[in-house]
Structure 1
Amino acid sequence: MSSRREILFLQCIVLLALISVRIATQPHEISIPTDVQIVSAVRNVDLTTQIVKVKTDYELKNGGKEDLSSFVHVMSADEAARLSWMSAYESGKESNKFRVSRVKVKGASTEFVFHKIELLNMFVSGANIKLTVDYALTEYLVPSPTEIVQSENQLVIFSGTANVLSVYSVTKESCAYKIGTSKPISFTEMTPSKHTADKISYGPYENSKPYAKKAIVIHYENNAPFLVATMVERIIEVSHWGGNIAVEENVEILHKGAKLKGSFSRLDFQMDRRGARQPVIKTFKTILPAASDDIYYRDEIGNISTSNVYPRSDRVEVELRPRFPLFGGWRTNYVLGYNVPSTSFLYQFGFNFALKMKMMDRLFDNAVVEKLRVKIILPEMSKNIKLITPYSVKRLPDEVHKTYLDTFGRPVIVLEKENLINNHIQTFTLYYDFERIYMLREPLFVVAAFGTLFLAAIILFRLDFSIASKEDKETASGHQKRE
């Protein structure tokens, strides 16, 4: 009976622990102060590439009696589902970043998603402040039509709002969309709105209420490469013995624009005079560290010679040309590798080491990476491993990598992150302890192996494996002397 009670008690404890973890991981719920007002909101949206880049400048006024420490930013649930990057800072001072976290607002509709921006200084009563919020959306633009023939241009649809979504009342606001073409197919017209050159502007609107929403749709031509890396596996191997860090990236890429309808004509492709306006990827440029050496570029067939390397003062540019042009719906994969000296990225203080490298390289302009997996292979016998990342990542269980002369294997740190863009090219720091004496293990193994081999050879040469006895040999030698 007592054992049964103990089991029930343990089950209750586990259940309470799971509930507490679930509550802790859910977004924090907050209330919105009614005395905060947006004096001015100006939003600029760049729709010229496959990434939707949004920049909003706010001027806020605290009309309440209490000082505030945060501001709540709102976006649609559709945008939040494709949100890749978000940053907030004091206007004109981009280095002064604010902390951003997702929250829930009491009584708010599920069609909105909220982010709390924690200010560096208190927003005192009666004061005005200016701040800027940047964010980027991936795979948000929808090709329309979804299939095109080789000679057609790519058209896409953007769905958004003519005003700035807000949980506060807005005194004055405006939105501008840069589409990269002077002839949009169609766009939602409102009063006031205008189309000049490659920009569609809405507003200014005055005295907007909280949660006001003016939906718009823009249909326009966008022939930018919709090149997406569906999977990138980045392997970083640290070698203390050679003073080298080897980096290899296995990349799978897919053109996620309008799919090619019908057959591909090489002749029509070569005679096409649209040039860069073709919705096709012929080449793309990857940026590597300035110290990169021994660069190789291959696929499952073998080495790809259609690439060029351009060393610069602060980087190495590698122009990659796939074996065939990539139209919508077409995919390919490749391996890009290089070596860098450990002195550029590995720092030492006694037995303590710190590896500082980028989470990923710049694969191509306006890159979208659906999934990134980073494997960091440390020297055998590394201990006290500690990782610091510039943003949240998923750390998978550590692995063990074994190669020649290894006994226990080398520790491998495995990280994963989804939905990345070039803003995520930031430095991680990996701390670990490694005693230099362990570098002698492998040479000693080689010396011991060869020593054992030579000793065995000496012993074998000195052993007598003949069938005749020693007396028979002496008798035979005596007969030979008499003769």
Structure 2
Amino acid sequence: MEALLRVRLTLVLFFFVHLSLLSRTSSQEIQIVNAERRIDLTSHIIKVFVTLKVENSGTSPALEILFAFPPTLVDHVALFKAAATVGKRKKKTYVPLDVKPTELPNAPNGTKYFSISLLNPLSKGETATLEVLYILTRSLEPFPAEISQSESQLVYVRDSAILLSPYHVKQQITLIKTPSTRVESFTVVAPSNRAGTELKYGPYDDRPPYSYSPILVHFENNNPFSVVEELEREVEISHWGSIQITERYKLVHAGARHKGVFSRVEYQQRGGSGSSSFRHLLARLPPRVHSVYYRDEIGNISSSHLRTDFRKSELEIEPRYPLFGGWKATFVIGYGLPLEDFLFESPDGRRYLNFTYGCPLTETVVDKLTIKVVLPEGSKDPTAMVPFPVEQHLETKYSYLDVVGRTVVVIEKRNVVPEHNVAFQVYYNFNPIFMLAEPLMLASAFFLFFVASVSYLNVDFSIHKK
């Protein structure tokens, strides 16, 4: 029996090793027929769109496509996703593909990879078109690093005129869009040219694997470099009809540091704005919000405006002072939501919260985001379903009239961008009998107080002789 088990185990291992080698071998025989890369630099969040037409020129079917990054760039990747193009023209659709970080032995110069799993194995001579989107944060470096109140902010970005790829690329082109026509300088890699706010590199033909041509673009970017160094969002569920949200922000202007003394007179003369400073922030909240407040350590801040309709709510907030490069602000936003809009019951009888991940502030990067979902007392077996990798653990929180405490599902993620604002779910089991715990405790306390009062009033504590 043991010998038979060993034989079966050997066959299974051989199958998986063979499948892995088949995939890797076929990936070496892939070539990119055409690659078009579009780099959007109009914000401090860089978005790169890549269209790849890949062809299998080998004999074995390919199961995956590798996308390469330089080791200095991969740490700035906040989001990476891919989709397969199905159909043509008006009937064209995009099917999301599974992606995951991967490594290759003996990768040249420490190259990092993402593996894109294809919908169907790519046979010999077949082609497939892939759409790739990746987002980079903190990749724009201010130069000069310090500017005065009235100076424009200049930044530079480092990249490559040629797509870094482990495959042979027959033809490729790179387009770079800047926020304005002011471009101080850019690296020339013929053929390349600039027209208005667009830089064009290419087309380049027949580039071997791992070709790389470094470029540097120095340009003006006065958009708000708003970065939340730390954001804690607490979502407290009450089965009595409401959800209370508390968001604690530590905000910083991550652009060129402010140099010199701030002049309020000059600031007002320029229409209440510095070249790269910002004084307004927009938070997109769910519809039907109520009991909204905005405050900091000093107290309530009245400079906020709330606009609501049946589809969304927008809260425009203004810190106590304009934010220049390097300046920071801390504040708290809180609001309530109706329970029936976000809490549901699954077919298996479990309750689940359906809420939006990410940061409500628009065009903002979050270095560290912590979401704490506070479940009602008595909740059991909580599980969180998030559509991207996060760190999770459980805590216990004690509030008024709690006996055993409330379970808190803590979800943490670093390097969060607006594209992470998608729905996530937290499932848990809950016995409705626990809803009577606090009312019974209050009733018991009042009853005991009443009995004690009656007893006190009917007992004679006077001292007298018999």
Pairwise CA distance, 1:95: 4.9
Partner of 2:118: 119
Partner of 2:38: 44
Matched, 1:59 2:49: no
Distance 2:324 2:31 in 1: 48
Identity %: 35
Task: Spell out the pairing of 1:196-211 with structure 2 (5 A cutoff).
Answer: 196-211=195-210
Pairwise CA distance, 1:183: 2.7
Question: What residue identity is the alignment partner of 1:202?
Answer: Y
Question: What residue identity is the alignment partner of 1:149?
Answer: S
Partner of 2:301: 304
Partner of 2:3: none
CA change 1:223–1:385 in 2 (3 A) is same
From 387, 390, 395, the equivalent of 1:393 is: 390
From 409, 412, 425, the equivalent of 2:408 is: 412
Unpaired runs of 5+ residues, structure 1, are 1-27, 473-483
Matched, 1:261 2:255: no
Q: Output one character per residue of 1:124-169: Cα deviation in whole Å (capped at 9) or x when no partner.
A: 2211111111101100110000000111100001111111111111
CA change 1:171–1:72 in 2 (3 A) is same
Report if aligned partners of 1:31, 1:105 keep a CA contact under 8 Å in 2.
no
Question: What residue identity is the alignment partner of 2:312?
Answer: R
SS at the partner of 1:305?
Answer: coil
- Any runs of at least 4 consecutive aligned residues in structure 1 with deviations exceeding 4 A, and if so which? 28-32, 92-95
Question: What residue identity is the alignment partner of 1:334?
Answer: F
Distance 1:455 1:389 in 2: 52
Q: Output one character per residue of 1:20-39: Cα deviation in whole Å (capped at 9) or x when no partner.
A: xxxxxxxx995663321111
Partner of 1:291: 288
Task: Spell out the pairing of 1:313-328 with structure 2 (5 A cutoff).
Answer: 313-328=310-325
Distance 1:440 1:183 in 2: 66
Task: Spell out the pairing of 1:430-445 with structure 2 (5 A cutoff).
Answer: 430-445=426-441
From 239, 242, 245, the equivalent of 1:244 is: 242
Partner of 2:444: 448
Distance 2:311 2:359 in 1: 14
Partner of 1:230: 229
Partner of 1:104: 103
Q: Output one character per residue of 1:68-106: Cα deviation in whole Å (capped at 9) or x when no partner.
A: 111011121121011100110013767511111111223
Partner of 1:479: none
Report if aligned partners of 2:358, 2:417 keep a CA contact under 8 Å in 1.
no
Distance 1:351 1:446 in 2: 29
Structure with max Cα Rg: 1
Q: Output one character per residue of 1:344-386: Cα deviation in whole Å (capped at 9) or x when no partner.
A: 010125852111111234212x210000011111111111212
Distance 2:114 2:400 in 1: 50
Of the structure 1 ranges 243-252 and 340-349, higher mean CA displacement relative to structure 2 is found in 340-349
From 427, 448, 459, the equivalent of 1:463 is: 459
SS at the partner of 1:185?
Answer: strand
Distance 1:333 1:31 in 2: 53
SS at the partner of 1:428?
Answer: strand
SS at the partner of 1:189?
Answer: coil
Matched, 1:369 2:369: no
Partner of 1:135: 134
Pairwise CA distance, 1:302: 0.7
Unpaired runs of 5+ residues, structure 2, are 1-20, 87-91
Question: What residue identity is the alignment partner of 1:229?
Answer: V
Report if aligned partners of 2:281, 2:318 keep a CA contact under 8 Å in 1.
yes
Q: TM-score normalised to the size of structure 1? A: 0.88
Q: TM-score normalised to the size of structure 2? A: 0.91
From 320, 333, 336, the equivalent of 1:336 is: 333
Distance 1:340 1:181 in 2: 41
CA change 1:32–1:48 in 2 (3 A) is farther
SS at the partner of 1:191?
Answer: coil
Partner of 1:195: 194
Count of aligned residue pairs for this structure pair: 439
Distance 1:185 1:94 in 2: 40
Of the structure 1 ranges 414-423 and 311-320, higher mean CA displacement relative to structure 2 is found in 311-320
Distance 2:452 2:150 in 1: 75
Question: What residue identity is the alignment partner of 1:380?
Answer: E
SS at the partner of 2:389?
Answer: coil
Partner of 2:276: 279
Report if aligned partners of 1:30, 1:106 keep a CA contact under 8 Å in 2.
no
Report if aligned partners of 2:85, 2:94 keep a CA contact under 8 Å in 1.
no
Distance 1:158 1:80 in 2: 15
Report if aligned partners of 1:180, 1:199 keep a CA contact under 8 Å in 2.
no
